[in-house]
Structure 1
C-alpha cells in the first residue's frame, strides 16, 4: 500500500522574525540622564578616545563608539559627550557615546573651494594657532590667510606662530600681516639645538584650548613635543627638491599642557584649506573698523569692485590711519577665499622663482 502524501496547513508555516526587531518603532529616545561626561581627545576609524574626569585622581581614558541613535552626527576632537556602558577604562572595554553637548565654537574646512561639504576640524577650541616657518619651507601667505579667515568665521582668536626664526629675520615675514594687528610669536633653534621662544608660546596658550594648523614640515609636531614632553608626536624633514614636508602626524589629538595650563590640539599637516562654506560678510565682520563702511555698498557688493563703498570710507580716514592697509588685507583674504592670489602675491612668488 502506498504511503498517503501529507497535506500542509498554516501550522506548518514558519514565521521569520522581523530582522529589524519585533518592537514597534518610536521616535522617543532614552534621556540617558546617567551618562558620564567626557572629553573626546582622539578620533580614529570610528573609535573615540575619551577622557573622563580629567585633572582629578579618577582621570581615566575610555574607548567609545558612536551610538546608532545619534544618526549621522559626527564626533570630533574637542567634543564634550555623554557616555554609557562600561566607562571603567579597562582594557578591551567599549562604551557608547549617546550625547554630544552643544559646541561653543566649530572650526570648519572644505576639501577645496568647489566642495560644498563642510568638514568639522575641531570643536570647542578658543584659539587657532597658524604655524608657518620663516624658511625651509618658504612661508605660504595664501595658506595663512585662509586659516585666518576660518578663525574669524569660527569666532576663534588667531595666533601666528613663526618657526625656524634662526634661518631668516621673522620681521620680513610679519610685515605681510602687520595691518591685521595679529598677535604673533617666534621660535628658533639655539646654538645647542634647544628650542627658544617657548615661554612666549606658553603664555599665549595658558588657559585656552588651542588648535595648531600648518603645512607639513613647518615644525608643528616639534613644537608640540616641546610643549608636551610626553606627547611623542612624529616629526619629519623637508624635501630638498620640492621644498615640502612629509606628513608625519597622521591623526588629530588633544593634549593637556603640563600643570593644567590648557590644551593643544595637534593636527596632521594640510596641503590646502578649502573655504567654500564661508560668506564674505563673515570675513568683513572680523574688521570692525571697516564694517560700518559697507552701508553705502550697492546690493550684492563683493567688496572687491569699483563701486564698493569701502574705498570712500577709507579715503575719508574714517577707518583710521591703518585703513588703506587694512582694506588691502581684507581684500587679500577675500581673494584667498576664492582661491585667487592678488597681484602683489604673484609677483612675490615670481621673485622667489627668479632667485632660485
Structure 2
C-alpha cells in the first residue's frame, strides 16, 4: 500500500474504564496534528461519544469507517471494532474494560498486518483484566512480539536525549537474576544498537550497561552476575564494533548524571531503569518497542483508574507518543532508503568520515 504524504497511525483505545479514551480525545482535539499523520482510532462510535461528552473545550470531530478504503486523510477516523452495547464504568477495574481493550488492540494488529496502517500508538491496558485463554500476556510488548512473529523485542522509554532500555520487563524480582543470560544481554544490545541507528538516526551510538547488583557487584563481593554474565556480554558486543561501556553502578550512574554522556542506557530490570527515568522525564516519556517490523509507541503511564472519567488526565505523554511514532516512521524510511541507494549511502559515509577527521584534528590540537 502506498502512502502519498503522511503516515497512517492506528490508535488502540486501551482499557475502556481508564484514561485512554480521554487522552486520545484531548490529543486529537488539536487539529494541527492532522498535518503530521492520519489517525485511525480502533474503538466504537459509542465509546468515543461517551468520553467526548465529558470533555470540555474540545474540537474533536471524526468520521466512522468500517472499510479502510474510506479513510479520510483530513479527518480523525474511528474504526468500529464492535457494534454491541457495552457498559462503560470509568474508574472501575472489571472484565468488560479489559475484554474490549483486547478487541481494539487485536483489530489494530490485524490492520498493521494487512498494511492499512504503518504504526500504532497504544493506550494503557491493565495487565490483570486482559487475561484470558486467547490473551495470556503480561502486557502489550509480549503480545506484539508473538503476534508479529518477532525474534526478540526491546522495551525502550525515552524523553529528549534520555533513553532507557530493559533486559527484563514485567517479571517478579525474585526471578530476575536467574532469567538474565549473556545471550539475552547480547541480543538486547544488538537490538538497541540497530534501533539507535535506524529509528533515532544516531550513526555511532554510545551505550551504557548497568550492573545487576548494588555497586555493580563490587568485583564479585556483592553478587557475581557482573563478572560471569554482564561483562562477557559487553566484551562480545564490543567485538562487533559497538561502543558499549559498563557495567555501571545504577545509583551513582543516575545520581551523577552520567547518562548524559550516552545515547542510551541498558538496565537489567524494570524498576532499576524506570524509577530514575520517570523521575527525570516528569510525564513527558514515551515507550517504544524495538525489534518489530512496524513502529509502536505508547505513553509512559498506566490506566490511572483513580482519575478516570474526571476530565483531568494530562495528555502530554500521549501527544509525545503520537509525534514520536510519526518521527520514527519517517526516520526509519529515510534510513532504509539511504541503504537501498548505494550512492546515497556512500555519500553519507564520506561525510561522516570527514566529520570524524575534523573531531580528531581538534582533539590533536
> Taking CA–CA contacts closer than 8 Å with sequence separation of 6 or more, which of the two structures ends up with the larger relative contact order?
2
Structure showing greater Rg: 1
Higher fraction of strand? 1
Instruction: Calculate the TM-score normalised by the size of structure 1.
Output: 0.30
Instruction: Calculate the TM-score normalised by the size of structure 2.
Output: 0.29
Higher fraction of helix? 2
